[in-house]
Amino acid sequence: MIDPLAPTRLGPVVLRNRVIKAATFEGASPEGLVTDRLVDYHLAVAEGGVGMTTVAYLAVAPEGRTHAEQIHWRPEALPGLRRLTDAVHGAGAAISAQIGHAGPVANGASNSAPSIAPSRSFNPLSMRFHRVATEADLDRIVDDHARATRYAIEAGFDAVEIHLGHNYLASAFLSPRLNKRRDGYGGTLAGRATFPRRIVAAVREAAAATGAPIAITAKLNMRDGYRSGLDLPESLDFARMLEDGGHLDALELTGGSSLMNPMYLFRGGAPVKEMAQRMPVPALLRAGIRLSGHAFFREYEWHPLYFLEHARAFRAALRMPLILLGGITDLPAMERAMAEGFEYVALGRALLREPDLVRRIAADRATVSQCTHCNLCMSTIYSGTRCHLAEPRPVGEAG
């Protein structure tokens, strides 16, 4: 059996183990730039033993942020990002940049720019309609992904993760429900896949042009988790397109929609009251969330390896390396993922609770995560993502 804690490679990058810190928005960039809190956030999990940590979410364009307090790629952001990558490398871990465009998930009111979507629809976050993306928009955003890749290399990242999930813009194009276009970017899966495939190709081409040894991965929904969204058969077909394109070193499998069904990704408790209190939305919408938020924040039972059943279909259909996430909190879950044929595992909430979990598992393989899957951490993303149960660490002391 493959040891998940043994050294390995991700494309051209050497990792000290097969454990990846999943991209979870840190809420630690209030000015859209790297802060000490953001450095400490990733330094803690790097010192805590992961093979690679993922910075989320780095928008490729200003209007591609989910909220104004988020980093987008530009020259002013590079010195701070270089400080971040240097810190993580100093702790012995690799570091990946999650890049993408939020599209309909963006809060246009916060960004002071209209949110963009494949088709006309209403954005409850900003209480206005999305602007329908033109072909010129799509060309620009493809170029923005290439530019972001070059910036990531300049800033010292070891990998780039392309966000093709959660109904961000590329994912929204894949959704039959969100993409009603009648041009070459809509209709059949082949049409809906055109834009995300262009993005992936542009990222690889930009990386190749620099000659830098950087890994390229993507995060893809297996299921959107709502009626008429992207589902397993088409997602599998799209994954085959990605494999045939040959541009990715690994594919991370996820699910759920930040627009329609966010808890499909997280599983466990649904903190409706806490989210309503803290979401940066109009007061009327906040009141509506309190009253009927359980229809949006649906509650799904948490269990170990909760995405494994769907992910098996991708493992059976694909040759490319796959990253399994969802309900992986201890060594037995990691080992089962390896036994099922997955090359890497990704952890999120468990590392919020215990940034040093991987180091502790390596020291005592019977270690069990203390994460309770309450999901109260979701309500903290606007003020600094953290676990309510973990002891706070002073800024500047990743420890």
Which residues are the active-site residues? Answer: 168
How far apart are alpha carbons 5 and 370 in whole angstroms?
Answer: 20
Kindly tell me the sign of the dihedral angle through the C-alpha atoms of 319, 320, 326, 331: positive
22's tokens: 């999943």
Using CA atoms, how far apart are residues 265 and 257, in angstroms rounded to an integer?
8
For residue 290, give the DSSP letter. H
| Residue 321 identity | P
* CA angle in degrees (0–180, nearest 5) for 217-218-223: 150
Q: Which amino acid is at 259?
A: L
- Burial bucket for residue 64 (CB in 10 Å: 0-12, 13-18, 19+): buried
- Measured in whole angstroms, the distance separating CA 369 from the mean position of its chain's CA atoms is 22
Query: DSSP labels for 300-369?
Result: B---TTTTHHHHHHHHHH--S-EEEESS--BHHHHHHHHHTT-SEEEE-HHHHH-TTHHHHHHH-TT-B-
- Tell me whether strands 13-15 and 8-10 are parallel, antiparallel or unpaired: antiparallel
Give the span between the Cα atoms of 377 and 386, in whole angstroms: 6
Copy the structure tokens of residue 386.
């953290």
Cβ pair 47, 39 in contact under 8 A:
no
Compute the distance between CA of residue 230 and CA of residue 246 in angstroms, rounded to an integer.
Answer: 22
Element containing residue 378 per DSSP (H, E): none
DSSP for 34-102 reads: --HHHHHHHHHHHHTT-SEEEEEEEESSGGG-SSSSS-B-SGGGHHHHHHHHHHHHHTT-EEEEEEE--
Length in residues, the chain: 399
Query: E strand or H helix at 372, and its extent?
Result: none
List the structure tokens of 364: 């005592």
